Amino acid sequence: MSVALGSTRPLSVTTTPVDDPGDLFARLPETAPYAWVRHGEGLVAWGEAIRLAVPPGPRRFDWARDRLSDLFGEAHVDDDVTAPGSGPVAFGSFTFDPEAPGSVLVVPRTILARRDGRAWLTTVGERRLDAVTPLRTPGRIRYGDGSLTAPEWEHAVARAVRRIRSGHLEKTVLARDLTAVAERPIDVRLLLARLADRYPECYTFSCAGLVGATPELLVRRTGETIESLVLAGTIPRGADQADDVARGTTLFTSEKNRHEHACAVASVREALDPLCAELKIPEEPELLVLSNVQHLASPVSGRLSDGASVLDVVAAMHPTAAVGGTPTEAALGVIRELEGMDRAGYAGPVGWIDARGDGEWGIALRCAQIEGSRARLFAGCGIMGDSDPASELAEAQAKLRVMQYALEG
């Protein structure tokens, strides 16, 4: 079963209601925390009862769904809450590239959740007391180039633009990475707390060292209902309110950004149509205003027709045009050729699934991979035929500042 921790004996899972825990992040011990929180609601977890290394390949989501179905189906579950996220839950992070190793599913030993005025605690096996220690700052941060320098990345953007203009594809997405080294080991809890405070509209997440605050909900499944949020088209925030409004108008009327957004919406529609009895997508996008950037956004909702689990929907949707491009295979070919790096979990699905097949998954954006005192930061931009390399670099730097803020405070 590719189990690194725990045993192959059936899991014993207990979920009980608890009083409002207050700040969820304040309850986390330092070691290997897991999280999925927005506006103070969601799930935090710690400890590992089971860790599954998901084999690379085109059927990795099927493998994950089937393994978890077996694992949860055999579990002894006492659930007094029976809400999405109660009972046994697995957190997961999948690599962007299906052929890349590193996708993982973890069933934590302890999960603390709050949603819609209710709170609950889930334990797997014996309940353990885990000491909550004070948050630690990482000290001075030194940054360095990632796989490409800024000029090299601008050159890659220019090459991608030439490919698009020659008719090979409509859009691709190029990502950048940045390295960071801290004086002391990085406390993931501190990053989570800073991100949640500064970006409450985003989904603050932590899974297997991948930490971030993504604005993009790939899919939420609650029973037969699904929701998604398509984001494509970005502009930095203005210097003041008037500048901010002007920039929002520029974004909303930009032919380049509207076309980029339309490509992303079309890819989501194509992925969800076969799975849904009903699907609602607005005709016009709206503006999503975050503390650092503005996005074109289209909320999507639907009703599943065949009882698919949230992982089935994730499999159908990944990669969206928002993080891959259009058409998909041509765009992925350009990414592999020009990015010069392994994205690992960046722009891959991250989230959680319970035994009912409910769950929430986002696209791992505005994130970093943390290992000890080192971090690898990621950001990406949609590249179209009229993209300007310098402007795209500025956009990527604005997105990288999310995790730089989390590290520096």
The pTM of the whole model exceeds 0.75: yes
pLDDT band at 307, cuts 50/70/90? confident
Q: Give the mean model confidence (pLDDT) for residues 37-47.
A: 97
Cα pseudo-dihedral 313, 317, 318, 323, rounded to 10: -140
Between 267 and 130, the higher pLDDT residue: 267
What pLDDT, on the 0 to 100 scale, is given for residue 8?
62
Between 129 and 86, the higher pLDDT residue: 86
Q: Are the C-beta atoms of residues 399 and 213 closer than 8 Å to each other?
A: no
What pLDDT, on the 0 to 100 scale, is given for residue 4?
43
Q: Tokens standing for 342?
A: 């392994």
What pLDDT, on the 0 to 100 scale, is given for residue 5?
43
Q: Please say whether the structural domain 12-408 has been given the CATH code 3.60.120.10.
A: yes
Cβ neighbours of residue 71 under 8 Å, at least 6 residues apart? Answer: 1, 11, 50, 88, 107
Q: Are the C-beta atoms of residues 313 and 256 closer than 8 Å to each other?
A: no
pLDDT band at 387, cuts 50/70/90? very high
Q: pLDDT tens across 116-144, in order? A: 999 999 999 987 777 899 999 999 999 99
Q: What is the 3-state secondary structure (H, E, C) of 26-85?
A: HHCCCCCCEEEEECCEEEEEECCCEEEECCCCCCHHHHHHHHHHHHHHHCEEEECCCCCC
Catalytic residue among 154, 171, 339, 399: 171
Q: Is the pLDDT of residue 222 over 90?
A: yes
pLDDT band at 65, cuts 50/70/90? very high
Residue 310's nearest CA partner among 226, 202, 214 is: 226
Between 76 and 290, the higher pLDDT residue: 76
Q: Calculate the CA 344 to chain-centre distance.
A: 12
Helix axis angle, 389-408 to 188-198, nearest 10°? 120
pLDDT band at 322, cuts 50/70/90? confident
Q: pLDDT tens across 178-195, in order? A: 999 999 999 999 999 999
What pLDDT, on the 0 to 100 scale, is given for residue 176?
97
Q: Give the mean model confidence (pLDDT) for residues 275-290.
A: 94
What pLDDT, on the 0 to 100 scale, is given for residue 126?
83
pLDDT band at 31, cuts 50/70/90? confident
pLDDT band at 9, cuts 50/70/90? confident
**Calpha distance 135→171 (Å, rounded):** 42
Between 381 and 31, the higher pLDDT residue: 381
Catalytic residue among 30, 48, 154, 216: 216
pLDDT over 70, % of the chain: 98
pLDDT over 90, % of the chain: 89
Residue type, 112: L
Q: Is the pLDDT of residue 1 over 80?
A: no
Q: Facing residues of 145 across strands? A: 178
Confirm whether 170 is a catalytic residue. no
Confirm whether 284 is a catalytic residue. no
Average pLDDT of the chain? 94
pLDDT band at 223, cuts 50/70/90? very high
